[in-house]
Amino acid sequence: MATLLRVLTDGQVGDVHEQSLAVLARTGMRVDSAQARGILRAAGAEVDEPERRVRFPRALVEASLAAAPRSFSLGGRRPGFSLPMNAGECTLIPDGEATMVYDPVTGVRRASTREDWIAATRLVDSLDEVGAYWQMVTAGGMDPGPGPLVAHWAATFELFSKHVQDAPGSAAEAAWLLELLAVVFGSREAVRRDHPYSVLYCPVSPLAMEAEHTDACLATAGWDIPIAIMPMPMMGSSAPTGLQSTVVTGNAEVLGTICLVQAAAPGTPVIYAPALAAMEPRTGRWGGGSPEHALLGAATTEMGRSYGLPVTASNGGTDAFVPGIQAAAERTLNWLLPALSWPDILIGPGSLGGASTLCLEQMVIDVEVYRACRQLRAGIRPGIGEADVVAAVDEVGTAGDFLAREATRDAVRGGEFFLPGLGWHGAFDRFEAAGRPDILDQAREVALAAIAGHQPIPFPDEVATELARLERRARAATPASGNGMR
């Protein structure tokens, strides 16, 4: 059987749902967007306009949940690429929006540059385990305005040909984005059909939707662009203390947002994606390294699955600022449970210091950790190896060995054994003879080789030409408000 993990009982899942409905009906959410309040009022929500408070009746939440599709696929530019949601598959999406970089050459933590962004994007495009993209690091020094933004988005799709998830910063930015999507993927209909892009929407915890980001999200309505709803309540500060109450807070925020998304365009795909967090109680900081994040990440998957929705699960991160022992311990610890709960998308390799610092070595190490977690999740599969164990044991007899048996060969080739891609797994003598190789050096070599050798799939000429034309038009346009996400 596949390894089965549960961190919430059925009773707790039911309690979280009921409490979430109670929060939405009694406290509601503050919705700063007048457009969103209008949509919700028309859908049956109770709106207190002066307070900008929206209260959600049970019937509205349940109808909105029913309207959200249970299965769809995320596409990409790469031919044949598809990530089916709710289909038993899991892929990685890198951690996002670091402002600093752990320099792979000097080992110094410094502000990020556009070159870092290019390197990181090329690296994740080359990694099979990473199926979806977040902007991993800010491309420092980018000018404001729609022109540079359009150029940046075009470069994103050029360098990364799998699924892209991002967040336009305003409705005006969203308009440019939709135009660009139609160019890159051929048409609005192709975007609707293949879902090559999804919007990341983050309510502000506790229980608020701010205006500009919400309007940007609403601007994509009608394109059938999936919305990943990612509130980030933090236990003890922006969520009440107690893991379960943090789950309730995030769940209520997702459900409230689903009401808005479905009211704006019924049937729009949504991804259940709360990034639940725990405060460091001695400082009030968030670092993501504590084990509560693993429990919260697994609980996220279980709640999303209880609604039959696709899930993005978070794992926190690491408090460490340099790649090494603490980072490895915290990343592994915090990935084990969310990976075993097996969401559709798992966040996110590659960052340090509470997601503040991009680290290419950590990206490679994290992917290796995920591979090991995936093996744990695959569990003990009947039907692998010897068809008749008793007969095989009898044939080998006592004190024999099974090395030369066909079933052994087949099991090795069939994935029954994890074949590490990183670290040293040979004998000590050979380890010494090889100069005691260090996993960080090895990860660095893997990353730099991938960045140097990977060939992104180029745009067809006509797409490149049309994108250049769009960029020129955007550079000539009035700068839009909003800050994008980079």
Partner 1 sequence: MRYEARFLDEAEQARVHETSQRILAEVGVRFHGERALPLLAGAGAEVDLESGIARIPAGLVDAALASAPRGFALGARNPAYDYPVPSPVSRYAIDGTAAFVRDFETGERRYGTRRDVEEGLRVFQAADMGVMAWAPVAASDAPAPSRALHEFVGMLKACSKHGQHELHRRDQAPYLAAALVAIAGSEAAVRARHEASLIYCPVAPLVHDGPMLDAYLDLGDLDLPVMIMPMPIPGTTGPAGLLANIALANAEALSAIVVFQVAHPGRPVVYSSAVGSMDFRSGAYLGGTPEMGIQSGALTTMGRFYGLPATAAGCTSDAHEPGPEAVIEKLITSLPPASAGADIIVGLGEIDGDQTLVLEQILVDNELAHLCERLVAGVDGRAGAELFEDVAEVGPGGNFLAMPATRDAARSGEFYEPSLIGRVALEAWQERGRPSMYGRARERVREILDAPMVDPLPDAVMEELDRILAEADRDLHD
Q: State the nearest-atom distance from the C-beta of 173 to partner 1, in Å.
A: 24
Count of residues binding partner 1 (CB under 8 A)? 128
Round to whole Å and give the CA distance between 351 and 95: 6
Is residue 428 within the footprint of partner 1 (CB under 8 A)?
Answer: yes
Q: Report if residue 427 touches partner 1, rule: CB under 8 A.
A: yes
Cβ-based neighbour number of residue 67 at 10 Å? 17
In angstroms, the Cα distances linking 289 to 251, 278, 315 are 22, 9, 9
Cβ distance to partner 1 smaller for residue 287 or 348: 287
Q: How many angstroms from the chain centroid is the CA of residue 467?
A: 27
- Report the residue from 34, 87, 329, 433 that binds partner 1 according to the rule CB under 8 A: 329
Nearer to partner 1, 2 or 468 (CB): 2
Of 177 and 252, CB closest to partner 1: 252
CA torsion sign for 347, 352, 355, 357 is negative
Residue type, 48: D
| Span 218-277, contacts to partner 1 by CB under 8 A | 235-245, 247-249, 252
Nearest Cα to Cα of residue 235 among 321, 299, 331: 299
Q: How far is the C-alpha of 394 from the C-alpha of 388, rounded, in Å?
A: 10
Strand pairing of 270-272 and 312-313?
unpaired
Q: Which residues contact 11 (CB under 8 A, 6 or more apart)?
A: none
- In Å, what is the CA distance from 409 to each residue of 327, 406, 412, 426? 36, 5, 5, 20
Tell me: does residue 324 bind partner 1 (CB under 8 A). yes
Taking CB under 8 A as the criterion, the residue among 131, 226, 231, 287 binding partner 1 is 287
Question: Closer CB to partner 1, residue 228 or residue 327?
Answer: 327
Which region, judged by CB under 8 A, interacts with partner 1, from 148-156, 182-190, 224-232, 413-421? Answer: 413-421
DSSP output for 307-334? TT--BEE-----S-SSSSHHHHHHHHHH
Binding flag, residue 7, partner 1 (CB under 8 A): yes
Q: Which of 113, 402, 473, 477 binds partner 1 (CB under 8 A)?
A: 402
Site for partner 1 in 351-380 (CB under 8 A): 353, 365, 368-369, 372-373, 375-376, 379-380
Name which of 182 and 384 has its Cβ closer to partner 1.
384
Residues numbered 166 to 205 that lie near partner 1 (CB under 8 A) are 204
According to DSSP, the residues that pair with 54 across neighbouring strands are 29, 47
328 binds partner 1 (CB under 8 A): yes
- Shortest distance (Å) from residue 77 CB to partner 1: 33
DSSP structural state of residue 435 = T
* Closest approach of partner 1 to the CB of residue 464, in Å: 41
Does position 283 bind partner 1 by CB under 8 A? yes
Cβ proximity to partner 1: between 191 and 277 the closer is 277
Closest CA to 292 of 362, 229, 371, 239: 239
| Distance from C-alpha of 309 to C-alpha of 185, rounded to nearest angstrom | 26
Closer Cβ to partner 1, 292 or 471, answer by number? 292
CB of 135 to partner 1, least distance (A): 22
Q: What SS3 state is found at 470?
A: helix
Cα 181 to its chain centre, rounded Å, is: 20
**Token digits of residue 154:** 């075009």
145 residue type, one letter: G
Among 41-49, 168-176, 314-322, 343-351, the segment contacting partner 1 (CB under 8 A): 314-322
Tell me which stretch binds partner 1 (CB under 8 A): 189-197, 264-272, 394-402, 451-459: 394-402
Q: 77 vs 132, 232, 288, 460, CA distance in Å?
A: 12, 30, 32, 11
Closer Cβ to partner 1, 113 or 245, answer by number: 245
**Spatial contact of 246 and 278, defined as CB atoms under 8 Å apart:** yes
| By CB under 8 A, residue 326 contacts partner 1 | yes
Instruction: Rule CB under 8 A: choose which of 102, 157, 201, 321 binds partner 1.
Output: 321
Residue closer to partner 1 by CB (options 156, 246) is: 246
CB nearer to partner 1: pick between 101 and 154: 101
Strand partners, 239: 235
Does 446 sit near partner 1 (CB under 8 A)? no
84 lies in the binding site for partner 1 (CB under 8 A): no
Question: Which one among 116, 125, 158, 330 touches partner 1, defined by CB under 8 A?
Answer: 330
Minimum gap (Å) between residue 295 Cβ and partner 1: 6
List C-alpha distances in Å: 484 to 52, 93, 110, 428.
25, 19, 22, 51
